[in-house]
Amino acid sequence: MVDELAELDADAMALLERLARLGRAAGIIVVAATQRPSADALGGLDARTQMTARIALGVVEARDTELTLGAGRLGAGWRAERLSGPGYFLVLLPGRYEQPRPARAYWLSDDAVHALVARAGAQRPALDPTSADAAARAPEPSQTVRPDRERFDAALLAALDSAPPDGVSADDLAAHVGRSRAWVFSRLDVHATAGRVVRLGRGRWAARRGAPATAGDDA
């Protein structure tokens, strides 16, 4: 399960794509959530095509419906921007849910969740020997897997400051910084709003000359 897909770096996205491609045979289900499931957020089209079951919550713009559910859905009546009320969503599952009908999710308290888990626990199958052995082992010390964002921001701004006259692409920036294209685009938006960077052309960026190179500001 991935709470915010756009925060995965390139290595984590590559692992996710492998799980999506190869995990089905092993009974692995990938559940990923993101605010805007563009190709940039997904790291490419491979992971997107593997995710056939899709849930669209309410959106502001109609075009975001097709970004989530796929091209042509808007004209077929899938209108996530018209959802009203808390918890409403649209679900698309080829072969089962192919008509645009609103559904609704409900908030469950912690007590309700514990009660549901307790009822399902009696039906839980036993682990296979390999999984049981892994579960019985002492957990390894947790490691910090998310370095300081300010360090990445500083590297991003340095790369933009040294960009050639025609700018540098988001792909090159992602490779230089070691973060996903989605992360790069999100930070470019922040720095562009702050006046630190400019977009020179289609997918090309550079630092705004004379702008303060302050990293780490939030949008």
Q: How do residues 122-175 score in pLDDT, each as one tens digit?
A: 888 888 888 888 888 866 665 544 445 678 888 899 999 988 888 998 888 988
- Clarify whether residues 157 and 71 are in a common domain: no
Helix boundaries (H) for 106-180: 110-121, 129-136, 149-161, 170-177
Q: Which residue has the higher pLDDT, 131 or 216?
A: 131
**Is 144 part of any domain?**
no
- Clarify whether residues 9 and 79 are in a common domain: yes
Provide the pLDDT confidence category of residue 20 given band limits of 50, 70 and 90.
Answer: confident
- Structurally, the chain folds into a number of domains equal to 2
In which domain, by residue range, is 187 found?
149-207
- Clarify whether residues 94 and 165 are in a common domain: no
**Is 32 part of any domain?**
yes
**Is 109 part of any domain?**
no
**Is 133 part of any domain?**
no
Amino acid letter, residue 164: P
**Is 112 part of any domain?**
no
pLDDT for the residue 145: 45
Q: Which residue has the higher pLDDT, 219 or 198?
A: 198
**Is 202 part of any domain?**
yes
Do residues 159 and 177 lie in contact, with contact meaning Cβ atoms separated by under 8 Å? yes
**Is 47 part of any domain?**
yes
- Clarify whether residues 67 and 14 are in a common domain: yes
* pLDDT above 60: residue 104: yes
* Residues, the chain: 219
Q: How do residues 32-79 score in pLDDT, each as one tens digit?
A: 888 877 666 665 556 677 778 889 998 888 888 888 888 888 888 999
Mean pLDDT over each residue of the chain, to the nearest integer: 81
Do residues 76 and 100 lie in contact, with contact meaning Cβ atoms separated by under 8 Å? yes
